[in-house]
Chain A
Amino acid sequence: METQLIRSSKPFPIRRVLSLIPLYLVATLGAFLTILPFLWMVLSAFKSNAEIFSYPPSIFPKTFNLDNFFKLFEMWPFGSWYINSILVSLISTITVLFFSTLAGFAFAKYDFKGRGIMFGILIASTMIPFQLILIPLFIQVSRMEMINTYAGLIVPFMAPAFGIFLMKQFMSSIPDELLDSARIDGCTEFGIYLNIIVPLIRPAMGTLAIITFLGSWNSFIWPLVILNSDSMMTLPIGLARLTENVPGKSRDFGVIMAAASLVSVPIILVFIAMQRQFISGILSGAVKG
């Protein structure tokens, strides 16, 4: 039926092929421009400094050498930054998943006093830009002596309104009969959460997990504010640190590109593998239907 329609409206195959040219031209040009910086980053990581600062620039490194990577680990605590980033992102993701599903469950499946107001507060909080609370939050966190700690990075963001909203949306479709029959079987409320809700909501949790992990991995302004020692830094802060003039350490673009590649490439690969969940996560927070 479809093909029939297309054929009848475009009788000449040549015209049809010609009409594809602008389409593929736009797509190819766009994709090329998008990927170029990534390519440049990875290729530069293998170039010597002399080669990076040569004119005209070479596209492929003359020899693929790993010097920049060795120098990176020698000059900077890059290994610690990596471990910090992985730990902070993982712990953030796990706590966000737990608290978001828990509160989402309450909002989706219970009718309790104050629910409407509480949900209103939750939604209203998503409209507060982070910059408004940046300075007082910094004061608050230093009062609680969480400056330069994992806790300072993780605790304030453990129960995000966005995550709760997202989980609530997905849970609304779970039939109440399922929960009621579990109650009759003597299941506790937390038992219902653990044994019924969590298994059913697993795909949505995957979505939230990816978004949270990425957000935490790439987070910049908050870690920049509260981290002050080289050894505690997460990767984005460490990367920015590489570009500063540090006494006794030269700014080395090859090293910077090696670091940037090690930060970005694994994440891009994860993204390509889990693209579908990531995109559905972005969308489910906003446009529906």
Chain B
Amino acid sequence: MSVNSVANPPPRVKVSNPWYKQAKIAPYLFVAPFFILFFTFFLFPGLSALLLSFFKWNGIGSPDWIGLRNFQRLLEDPVFWQAVSNTIIYMLASLFIVVPLSLVLASVLNSRSLKLKGLWRSSFFSPIVTSSVSIALVFSILYSRDYGLFNAFLGQLGLSHINWLGDGNWARVSIIFLIIWRWTGYTSIYFLAGMQTIATEYYEAAMIDGANATQQFLRITLPLLRPVILFVSILVTTGSLQIFEEPYILTRGGPANATLSVAQFLYSQGISNLKFGIGSAVGLFLFITIFSLSALQLRTFGIFRED
């Protein structure tokens, strides 16, 4: 990305200008706050995370160098692997349920025949702006085994009640429902924007040729949206790898770690138990995973292109 920015510099401030000196210093002053904060609160902590992961430290006394033992202990910890596999399940669910659903939602919202678009949009996008904690709390009541709305509904249909949050598998399903509910509207914003850039001439031509709505969707919309679909997929992947609030509030990671996420594992090890070294090792693991995916995202689509 730095290559791009060099290739396309903004017009030079005139050197002959009597205010030359000021114009030369000013940009450095303007970007200084960012870099001061970046070094203090980002780069320095980031590098110490790298270092910390080779130490054993609980914040008291001096850290002990233990080499790769944190990583070794991490790899031998069944709870960590449980958290990894749960997080992968959340990621796959987001990819294969949220992304297709939001495509459908976006094409509904994009349809010319749909009236009152503002109203529909407001309702679909409202989960994004709501505090995830409030939402998780409401869902914990909806999921309640004996008094919850979901089980009451199942009861009405003559089905037996589900122990939503008490059974390991159902608890994961419950978290996945919450993820779907919360993120489908958000990702559909990107698809909607993508669809609005597709020229209507394509559809008009297709209609003249007698293509129906499904054919138009499969033959025109989907292929032209390919970059957006890939972008959203990676957005969803990196987002779901960092999932924290939903399992933290809804199940506290339980029952028996069945819903524990990697970010939650990091929090409980690093912050609650003050195992700074182990926590940093988990952070590094997450970083490497997410960085590889983000790098892929940048390479594939040039998301942060300057032009």
Contact = CB atoms under 8 A, between A and B. Distances in A.
A106 B35 CA distance: 13
Interface string A1-34: 0000110010000000001100110110011011
B104 interface: yes
Nearest to A242: B137
Given A139-B276, A221-B244, A287 B228 contact: yes
A108 B76 CA distance: 49
Given A27-B114, A118-B35, A155-B41, A275 B125 contact: yes
A34 B245 CA distance: 19
Interface in B252-307: 263, 266-267, 270-271, 276, 279-280, 282-284, 286-287, 290-291, 294-295, 298, 303-305
Interface string B188-217: 011001100100000010011010010000
A103 B27 CA distance: 8
B11 to A, nearest CB: 5
Nearest to A177: B11
- Which range contains the number of B residues in contact with the other chain? 35 or more
B300 to A, nearest CB: 13
Contacts of A110: 10, 13, 23, 26-27, 30
Given A5-B208, A52-B141, A130 B147 contact: no
B133 interface: yes
Interface in A147-204: 155-159, 161, 164-165, 172, 176, 180, 183, 188-190, 193
Interface stretch (B14-22, B88-96, B168-176): B14-22
B266 A127 contact: no
A221 B298 CA distance: 27
Given A20-B113, A34-B123, A135 B37 contact: no
Given A134-B270, A135-B271, A136-B52, A116 B6 contact: yes
B72 to A, nearest CB: 19
B27 A106 contact: yes
B105 A30 contact: yes
Contacts of B248: 240
Contact of B5 (A31, A115, A133, A176): A115
Contacts of B104: 26
B117 to A, nearest CB: 10
Contacts of A133: 41-42, 45-46, 49, 283
Nearest to A109: B10
10 contacts: A56-B155, A111-B10, A127-B295, A133-B41, A134-B270, A135-B270, A139-B45, A220-B244, A243-B137, A256-B137
Among the interface residues B42, B133, B267, B283, which one has the most CB atoms of the partner chain A within 10 A? B133
